[in-house]
Structure formats: C-alpha cells, structure tokens
C-alpha cells in the first residue's frame, strides 16, 4: 500500500473534511454573516464533490487490515449518507431569517460535516478500532449540534442527557470491543469471523458481544437504551434532530448489521420459539420486542409531534431489529433497505415539523391544525412521510415492512411454523397501533380548522424542495422498489 492508493480510497472523506475546515475558516473570518448563502454554497459544493468521489472513485479495495473497505455496499451507503446530509444542510438554512443560527451558520455546517465524516468512516470500515473512533467523532459533533444555536434551558439539558448517555454507551462499546479483542486476538471483523469459526467460543466473548450490543442499542435508540431520544428529538433544532433520525440511524443500522452478521455470524444462536439457543439473536430479539412495544405505546400519549416522531423512531428500531434476528442475506437486505427509507421519511417529517415550529412557535398537535389549507405542499409531504412510516401501500414503507417481516419469517425449514412468528406477530400488532397515532397527526393537519390568528406557514424554497424530493422518493420507491433493491442485492452478493 502506498499513500496515493490510500488517499484515492478515502477521497470522499477528504472532500468532506476539507469542506468542514473551509467552513470553520469562514466562521472565523465572519463569512457567514451574509445570510448563509455562501456557507450553503460551500457545503453543497463539498458534498457534491464527495458524492462524485464516491461515484467515480475506486470500485473495491481493502486497505490496512480492513480499516478502509470500499465495495459496492459501502459506496451505496456513503452516497445515501451524503444525500441525507445534503438534505439536512438545506434545512439548516431557512433563507433570510435564520432560525437562531444567525452568524453561526458556518460553524453549524462544519459540525454537520464533521458528524458526516464520522459516519462515513464508520460505514467504510471493518475494523473495530476505527469503527469506535468514527462513532465517537460523529457522536461528539451530534452532541454539539443538539445544543448549538438553541435557546437556554431545555436543549442544554437534553444535550447533557444525550452526552451522558452517549459517553456511557461509548464506554460499554469500548469495553465490549476490548473483550472481543481479548477473545479473538483481532479487531478486523473478517479475521474475527475466521477465528470464531475455527476455535471454540471463549467465555469472555459473549460478554464482549453483549456489552457492544448495549453501545449499538444506544446508537439506534432501542429500548432500554432509548431514554435520550425523546428529549433530544424534541429539544434539538429540527435539522439536527432530522440528521440524528436519518443519517445517524442509517449508519447505525448499517454497522449493527455488518458487525453482527459479518463478524459474529457464527455465534448467532437462535431466538426461535421453543428453540432458544444462546447467542446474540435472542438478545436482539428482546431489544426488538421491547422497542416495538414501548416505542409504539408511548407514542400514543404524546402531544408534541417531534416527541411522537422520536417514539415512533424507537418503534421502528424494533421493526428493523426484528428482521436482523433472522441474520441471513435476505434479512440484511431488508434491514438496510428499510433503514434508508426510514431515514428519508424522517428527514421529510422533521423538515415539515421544523417549518411548523418556526411559523407557529410550537409543535403540539394543535399547532398542526389546518396545515392542509395554509401550506398544502408541506402537509402533503408530511402525509406521505407518516403514511410511509405507518406502512400503507402504495408508499415504500409498506414494501419495506413487508420485506422486513418476510425476511424474519424466511429462516427455518420450509413446511414448519417459522420460529420467529411470535416476533413478527408482535410487530404486525404494533404496526397497527402505530397507524393510530400517525392518523391522529394527519387528522389535525387535514380536518381541524386552522386557528384564526395562525401565521402563514412559509418555508424557503430550499426546505420545500428537500421535502418534495423526499416525498417523491417515497412514492417512486413504493412503485419501483427495485431502483434501490437491485443495487443493494448486487452489493450484498459481493459481501456474502
């Protein structure tokens, strides 16, 4: 390996990093005072360059013992993360009147890009050490984005809670990784898989995997490691919450699936009804079941729409983990596919919620009343996003959920009752519950009269454009899911 080869493989990361440094420089020079247009242009240009570097860069490679891995799957997900970040960046700049970001847009954008850098590193590695450092890079930037440009009071409290939870989760993750290293003698996922296949399982390994699961559970907001999520989603600036719910979650599920299936596929165990076997599958099944029940039931009682979205996100973590329990190629495909469409739908939902928040000053259910008449475009996108999350056809959410549950049921011998039927039955039940609270929001949006003194809900063209793009993606993918599924399938064939 020479350095030129190394650089060519991390060109997207370098593009993002250089852009972030340029933005920090602009912040120091006071360049963001002019309404943030220059900042937005620089951010978009940097993300565009990074996307070009992903698309036209090397197609495959594995450097430094798996620290840098480039294959079809990582390239696909890097592109997805870049696109979601571009959407978030457009939300960050609500045009002329900045929502509390005045004069700080450059730093805010720089933090967003540094968080993205962490996620890109995480997605493009099969090395536990780099995985951990990348996750920390992303987390640290996210803590700051939550508290950044927010008024005094609750956001700081939410950020502090996020920070404490995150630090403890990181400690668990690091503990777990060091036990895994102790048990297998390697931090390279592929080597770990080989060692596990060849040697009897070390007693310390289950401990390591369990501790690592705690850290991952925090990252994807699975119950019982979810307590930070509602406060953070509610108190953070809407774009930051959108980023945490979209790009950060996509990357989270990507690494959970990759680490568990690629590295620890041998010690999966079984969560089948009546045939429990120790391994990570029963633990993930418990996380999934708890997340579905707690997330969806708690969402019923919420008055704040962003809090509702947070609990619905927790519930969705449960749905996604349900498929992961099956741990075959089909399941991984379903998990990755659903995490992407969940990311797109959440970004759109948080975008609309942020625009209502700016116009009416709060995001209680009543504040959404009459949105269908005052801002039909935003209301339409919100409807698409929520119905997709609820899993109604013809939106892509239906197809994604169908895939998840089909994958969970696909394991086992044909002709017998699938072992994961209990989990899928629970998921279907909770899916029905979730429809109720999504429709509660939509009832306010379309059927409640707007308050007489309601300020007109106006968003900038950039934000509306992102919302519309997200909405059309949800419809388009619902009609033609193979647009994403086929590349994903091809990429996974290379992996397995």
- What 3-state DSSP class applies to 173? helix
In Å, what is the CA distance from 201 to each residue of 172, 197, 257? 21, 9, 21
68's enclosing H/E stretch is: strand 68-70
Residue 366 or 483 having the CB closest to other proteins: 366
CB of 242 to other proteins, least distance (A): 15
Residue 97 or 376 having the CB closest to other proteins: 97
Residue 246 or 302 having the CB closest to other proteins: 302
CB of 134 to other proteins, least distance (A): 6
258 contacts: CB under 8 Å, gap ≥ 6: 126, 189
Q: Is the peptide bond before 394 cis (omega within 30 degrees of 0)?
A: yes
HSE, CB side, 13 Å, CA atoms: give it for residue 336.
28
Residue 85 or 322 having the CB closest to other proteins: 85
User: How many other CB atoms are found less than 10 A from the CB of residue 44?
Assistant: 16
Reference 24, options 10, 7, 43; nearest CA is 43
Residue 401 or 440 having the CB closest to other proteins: 440
Measured distance CA(80)–CA(180) in Å, rounded: 30
Is the distance from CB of 334 to CB of 406 less than 8 angstroms? yes
CB of 156 to other proteins, least distance (A): 9
CB of 25 to other proteins, least distance (A): 12
493's enclosing H/E stretch is: helix 482-495
111 contacts: CB under 8 Å, gap ≥ 6: 141, 144, 145, 148
In the complex, the residues that contact other proteins under the rule CB under 8 A are 17, 24, 64-65, 67-68, 98-104, 107, 110-111, 114, 117-118, 121, 129-130, 133-134, 136-137, 140-141, 143-144, 147-154, 182-185, 195, 199-200, 202-204, 206-207, 230, 234-235, 237, 302-304, 307, 357, 361-364
Residue 54 or 149 having the CB closest to other proteins: 149
Reference 142, options 46, 236, 44; nearest CA is 236
Q: How many Å from the N-terminal Cα to the C-terminal Cα in the chain? A: 25
CB of 303 to other proteins, least distance (A): 4
Angle subtended by helix axes 482-495 and 329-360, to nearest 10? 130
Is the distance from CB of 147 to CB of 100 less than 8 angstroms? no
Residue 62 or 364 having the CB closest to other proteins: 364
Residue 237 or 471 having the CB closest to other proteins: 237
CB of 235 to other proteins, least distance (A): 8
CB of 136 to other proteins, least distance (A): 6
CB of 329 to other proteins, least distance (A): 28
């Amino acid at each position: 390996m020479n350095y030129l080869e190394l650089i060519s493989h991390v060109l997207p990361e370098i593009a993002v990093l250089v852009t972030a440094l340029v933005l920090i420089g602009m912040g120091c020079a006071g360049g963001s005072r002019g309404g943030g247009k220059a900042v937005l242009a620089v951010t978009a240009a940097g993300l565009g360059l990074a996307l070009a570097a992903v698309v036209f860069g090397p197609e495959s490679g594995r450097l430094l013992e798996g620290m840098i891995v480039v294959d079809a799957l990582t390239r696909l997900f890097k592109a997805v993360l870049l696109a979601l970040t571009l959407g978030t960046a457009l939300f960050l700049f609500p045009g002329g009147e900045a929502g509390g970001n005045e004069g700080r847009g450059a730093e805010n954008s720089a933090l967003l890009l540094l968080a993205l850098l962490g996620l890109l590193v995480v997605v493009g590695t099969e090395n536990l050490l780099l995985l951990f450092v990348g996750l920390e890079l992303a987390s640290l930037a996210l803590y700051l984005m939550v508290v950044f440009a927010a008024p005094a009071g609750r956001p700081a409290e939410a950020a502090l809670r996020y920070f404490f939870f995150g630090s403890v989760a990181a400690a668990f993750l690091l503990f777990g990784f060091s036990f895994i290293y102790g048990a297998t003698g390697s931090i390279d996922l592929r080597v770990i898989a080989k060692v596990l296949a060849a040697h009897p399982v070390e007693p310390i390994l289950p401990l390591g995997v369990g501790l690592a699961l705690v850290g991952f559970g925090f990252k994807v907001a699975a119950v019982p490691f979810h307590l930070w999520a509602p406060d953070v989603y509610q108190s953070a600036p809407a774009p930051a919450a959108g980023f945490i719910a979209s790009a950060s979650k996509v990357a989270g599920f990507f690494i959970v699936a990759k680490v568990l299936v690629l590295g620890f596929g041998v010690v999966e165990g079984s969560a089948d009804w009546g045939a429990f076997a120790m391994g990570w599958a029963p633990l993930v099944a418990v996380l999934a079941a708890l997340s579905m029940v707690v997330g969806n039931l708690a969402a019923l009682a919420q008055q704040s729409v962003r809090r509702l979205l947070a609990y619905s996100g927790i519930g969705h973590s449960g749905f996604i983990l349900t498929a992961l329990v099956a741990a075959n190629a089909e399941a991984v495909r379903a998990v990755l596919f659903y995490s992407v469409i969940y990311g797109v739908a959440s970004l759109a939902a948080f975008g609309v919620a942020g625009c209502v928040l700016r116009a009416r000053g709060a995001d209680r259910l009543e504040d959404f009343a009459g949105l269908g008449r005052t801002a039909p475009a935003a209301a339409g996108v919100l409807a698409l996003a929520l119905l997709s999350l609820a899993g109604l056809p013809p939106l892509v959410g239906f197809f994604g959920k169908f895939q998840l549950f089909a994958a969970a049921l696909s394991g086992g011998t044909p002709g017998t009752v699938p072992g994961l039927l209990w989990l899928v039955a629970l998921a279907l039940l909770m899916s029905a519950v979730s429809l109720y609270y999504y429709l509660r929001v939509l009832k306010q949006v379309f059927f409640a009269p707007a308050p007489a003194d309601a300020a007109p809900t106006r968003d900038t063209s950039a934000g509306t454009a992102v919302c519309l793009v997200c909405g059309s993606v949800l419809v388009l993918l619902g009609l033609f899911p193979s647009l994403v599924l086929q590349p994903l399938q091809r990429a996974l064939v290379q992996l397995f």
